[in-house]
Structure 1
Amino acid sequence: MDLRAWCAGLCAGMIGLAGCGGTSGEGQSSGSPGASGSDGAGGQGQGDDIFGQGGDPLGLGSGGADSGGTGTDGPNSSGCEHIDIVFALDNSQSMSEEQESMREVVFPAFAEALLQMDGIKDFRAGVLDACPRPANFHTRGAAGECSFQSGKPWMESSSTEITREFQCAADLYGDDVECSGDSDDEQPASAAAAALEPPFSTGENAGFLRDDALLVVVAITDEDEQPVPRQQPQAIHDRLVAAKGDAKNVVFLGIGGKTDCQGAYGSADEAENMQRLVDTFASDGRGFFWDLCEGRLENGLTNALTAIEEACTEFVPIPR
């Protein structure tokens, strides 16, 4: 099926600032579940309104994005046209079903939807496993080299084979990891942070981050974020923000178990640390959690598009 038609059917009305209908918001919230009220910060993420904020899916009120001068057409000339995405995927054996969904369904729809967003000209995407040693973006999959058209260790949306490239990289190659496999290989958010810091940001991953691009981090695990050495979620938040200079220039989507469960993709442990990490971004409206127990990873990412679009209207490049 043509991806444009597929995504249009999945997210009818989503792009162009309208929310997906039905019950697609049930597994998603701004802030972790239980942080404030029963369903996350402000009790968001239930029912037909994705973020639980009434008829306006962005919660902008009557002023909207165009009345305050913060969008791409405003007097301050803020806003973003480019997006840099880091996908960090738990590579443990129990994640095979989630990885297959990401490769075959989720990323093709997400990539197509990003390019349909108003004002977005392009995106680039790097893929990691959940071990930060090393935190180089994957340029090969289990079957061999991915041969990105970009000629870089990341994919560019201009590639005519972007779906094939992601499917290759997301078929994670793990023979070079230095983690022991004793839970230290299940720290996707920490791996994403390491990828954007020296020595990796000045080595293999050099040039990935653009000053005029919004940073989007997607971290997924069926256990929990388990940093080695131990770090508090706030410390991981600060590392990711440091890469962009301002918390409003980062969108973080954490995907894990809301509770211990036997869900759509098999068993999942409660991702307590991941949910706490989401909370650190939620105060700026930039953190979102998707319950892996609910399944439907495609809904988790397409729901996040609304947050990405809002973040782009407020994006202001940080002078270097």
Structure 2
Amino acid sequence: MSAVLAATLAACEGPDPAASSFALPPTASPAPDSTGDEPGTSTGTTGTSEPVPEDSSTSSTGEPSTTLPLQDLGMPDLGDLHPVGCKGKIDFLFVISRYGLMESKQARLIEAFPHFIETIESKFADFDYHIMVVDGDETWGSQVCNADCSPTGCPYPEYPCDAVASISTCDTTMGAGTVFPAGKAASNVDCGIVGGRRYITRDQPNPVDTFACLAQVGLTGDDRLGEAVTAAMAPEINDVSGCNGGFLRDDALLMITFIANTTDQFSAGKPKEWAETITAAKHGDANSVVMFSIQEPECNPWDRVCDLVKYYFPYHHIADEDDYRPAFEVATDLVEEACSAFIPQ
């Protein structure tokens, strides 16, 4: 074959596809199959894939690269295909039962919270947080005390009777952030969130003490956590004029933590529907949510919150220990991993 013919054939074949610098962005792994975890164990999975290699103008040997620019291949330049990451911007939602016998679990959460926040903060140079607590029902305080706040009618000496007349619509809205826990074993004070918001930001003085006030939601309410988290994700409640206006941010990772001692038999809807609402609030990206639950790790057939956490979100952890700090450490590792793969919507 002549040299001219060989050169002509080579030109017709075009560049070797393997030499192209174009690569697809990483894809998220599917949510774990319900048969993939053994009952009775703490679980934690991730939804990340292998990173995309960066384009380079030189090879690993220092020689000029023969990789052609995307424009020379007739393809548009899509820019950097690596995930942007959450850059330390995280929205934390704590969904806490107000059912009876929750006093010790609320106390352990409050005790573990400073360690949790310090661990998260150490992972991000610019930690920009929203922290909101919602409880498991739409009532405020104790219905018994609200009806008769006299010493004979209300059995809780510390109950804030003088606040009953000033309760707002948001105080009695399912999924709205808690700002004034009231009832048996509750804080029974206005927790003093600045700016008129129902969630803590980094502008809040003494955020650890403020969270301790918010998380002590008391024992005179319900445990409808599935219904509460769904309501907290609704567009109208997060609208600028809604009760939780501004809490959910499109460019922030979302971490949801459940604290309960029951299996939530009374929430409206099903785990699949709750998961769809949460995912829709994050523009269809289940990998932008980290789920963490303090409850029995095995998902009994009737444990719907456990089903929600374990089977619909790739980043999740479930544990039930006397000390919540080790479980929170696992959760913070998941947050760091999910943040690195996060793509703002």
TM over 0.5: yes
CA distance in 1, matches of 2:196, 2:330: 31
Structure 2 partner of 1:304:
331
Structure 1 partner of 2:254:
215
CA distance in 2, matches of 1:216, 1:271: 24
| Cα 1:39–1:302 shift into 2, 3 Å | same
Quick one: which of 264, 280, 288 aligns to 2:311? 280
Read off the aligned partner of 1:208 and give its amino acid letter.
Answer: F
Select the structure that is richer in strand. Answer: 1
Higher Cα radius of gyration: 2
Read off the aligned partner of 1:304 and give its amino acid letter.
Answer: A
- Whether 1:167 and 2:212 are equivalent positions in the alignment is yes
Read off the aligned partner of 2:103 and give its amino acid letter.
Answer: S
- Whether 1:193 and 2:230 are equivalent positions in the alignment is yes
CA distance in 2, matches of 1:31, 1:96: 33
Aligned residues: 249
Structure 1 partner of 2:38:
38
Structure 2 partner of 1:256:
295
Read off the aligned partner of 1:109 and give its amino acid letter.
Answer: H
Q: Secondary structure at the match of 2:94?
A: strand
Cα root mean square deviation, aligned: 3.2
The Cα shift of 1:130 comes to 1.3
CA distance in 2, matches of 1:130, 1:306: 27
After TM superposition, the score normalised by the length of structure 2 is: 0.63
CA distance in 1, matches of 2:121, 2:103: 28
Runs of 4+, deviation exceeding 4 Å: 58-61, 65-69
After TM superposition, the score normalised by the length of structure 1 is: 0.68
Structure 2 unaligned regions, length at least 5: 1-30, 56-79, 139-172, 182-186
CA distance in 2, matches of 1:314, 1:307: 11
Q: Secondary structure at the match of 2:106?
A: helix
Structure 2 partner of 1:157:
202
- Whether 1:88 and 2:95 are equivalent positions in the alignment is yes
Mapped contact 1:31–1:275 kept (Cα < 8 A): no
| Cα 1:119–1:235 shift into 2, 3 Å | farther
Mapped contact 2:39–2:297 kept (Cα < 8 A): no
The Cα shift of 1:238 comes to 0.7
Structure 1 unaligned regions, length at least 5: 1-29, 46-50, 53-57, 176-180, 261-268
CA distance in 1, matches of 2:292, 2:179: 23
Read off the aligned partner of 1:157 and give its amino acid letter.
Answer: R
CA distance in 1, matches of 2:105, 2:230: 22
CA distance in 1, matches of 2:226, 2:326: 20
CA distance in 2, matches of 1:227, 1:93: 15
